[in-house]
Amino acid sequence: MPTFLRTGLWALVLCCSCAQATAPVRLPASELADPSLLSGPGFSVRPEAEIAGLQARFVIDTRWGELQVDSVELLAVRVEEMAAVSVLYGEKVSNTLKRAGLEKAGSPWNSAVAISASPLERAERLPAGVLSMFSTKLRRWGERFRRWGDRVDRAIFQSGDASQGFDLVEHADKPKTPWWDAPADEMGRLLRSASGHGAARRQVATALGIASDTSNPLLRSRLDALAWAVAGQKIALDSLADLLLPGLRQTVGYVEQADTLTRAPSEESLRARNEQRLQALSADQDLTYWLAWRGGFSANLMAQLLDELDRLGSVRGKVSALEAAAIADNELEARFVINSVRMLQSVQLGQPQGGELRAVGHLLAYLAADGELHLCLPVDYLQWTRPIAQWFDHPQIAESARRSVLVAGQISPRAARQISRRGWSLLPGLRYPASPPYPQLSLRTESGPGLSSATPADRAGS
């Protein structure tokens, strides 16, 4: 074979290999989430989901726009909110907003579509799963941590190896708010509170039976418009309730949810209460203030985290969870930290007393009294990628002789093999309190004890 032809074939093989390595994994949605979530009145989930940063990214087509959700857990949340979306975009509410001058006639809601339609917006606003929690770079609080797991970050960051200094986030960095804009953000929050917008928003959300701090873009815009209308006395709350309630009274669980939300404190009160609870766990005032008022956790999510930590009882090292929470930049990462603590509760059951919560890098683990380290990964699909390989290859990751990896979702065959070779026991499909609604998958024994059959993993092979 001529040399030039041989060289060309090798180049073609290399290009194909690179393309295969970088191509995103796409799996059937029905094998990642419970089939009951994939369709319903006014919406349907597209047949395939992309694995982005260890979480499943679904696209929901609705009558009111396209929604993109970045985990099985958030998919369940969005499906539960569909009844409220249907009411808010009903003809009666739309006509009421038009008469109040808060909605242009015939102008459909399209901003949810715009998020996925614009690559720049998508890169800046949508996180690539939770892969940044595996970061080997010091992040916002890195220089202040004095925890066991920080030795991993510092050893890698200061190793002098340029190849170790890469950023593990799979998207362009979210633009950071400059320090001089922080007072403006705080002033905007206070002005909204003083104008009655916040109270009106809570009242409207309570009438709908949803959380006022929902991140659903289809709901947020509509809630804001109705809140300004109520705060500006363009719409009476009583008349608004007459519009909203008839479409929701038949919704399963609506009465219980609305009653719970009615008793919930305002966001300001809840943040202040969270700060008091945080101060009981840590004497670091900067850390507790950040978590209560400025971090990636909403007030409700931070309250959930603190409730889950309370359920751990007398376990030592709870401050490790707070330091991991300070790393979270968005709702997806905040839920990752909360679910890590929930998984630890399942691990803690049946264990002798005296365990300790530890941070391994930015991840949480439970060191049992018998010396076994349990690493909790609440991810939808654990792949074997370069960042994951570098994380597991660092010698200080494997300080404990007995160690196990607990995964909420599935593990790809390649990831299972590679992690097992590094001395870790594997347990995929771990169920825990409020775990995401994953489908029931059969188990197989040829790949190791307790490994999920993970039909999509066999096809992906990554």
Taking only the tens place, the pLDDT of each residue in 1-22 is 555 445 444 444 444 444 444 5
User: Quick one: pLDDT band at residue 279, thresholds 50, 70, 90?
Assistant: very high
The rounded distance, in Å, linking the Cα atoms of 157 and 114 is 38
DSSP letters of 185-229?
HHHHHHHHHHTTHHHHHHHHHHHHTS-TT---HHHHHHHHHHHHH
63 burial via Cβ count (<10 Å: 0-12, 13-18, 19+): exposed
CA dist 97 → 111, 199, 240 (Å): 18, 19, 10
* Per-residue model confidence as pLDDT tens digits over 218-237: 888 888 888 877 776 666 66
Structure confidence by residue, pLDDT tens digits, 70-127: 999 999 999 999 988 888 888 887 777 777 666 543 333 334 433 333 333 333 343 4
Q: What percent of the chain has pLDDT over 90?
A: 35
Contact 131, 167 (CB under 8 A): no
CA 395 to chain centre: 28
Residue located via tokens 């400025």: 294
Contact 381, 56 (CB under 8 A): yes
The structure's pTM equals: 0.74
pLDDT at position 59: 97
Strands 363-367 and 65-69, bridge-based pairing: unpaired
Q: Report the percentage of the chain scoring pLDDT > 70.
A: 61
Q: What is the mean pLDDT of the chain?
A: 73
Contacts of 197 (CB under 8 A, 6+ apart): 224, 227, 228, 231
Asked whether residue 310 carries a pLDDT value surpassing 90, the answer given is: yes
Which residue did the predictor score with more confidence, 215 or 263?
A: 215
What would the pLDDT profile of 156-196 be if each residue is shown by its tens digit? 444 433 333 333 334 434 445 444 344 445 444 444 554 56
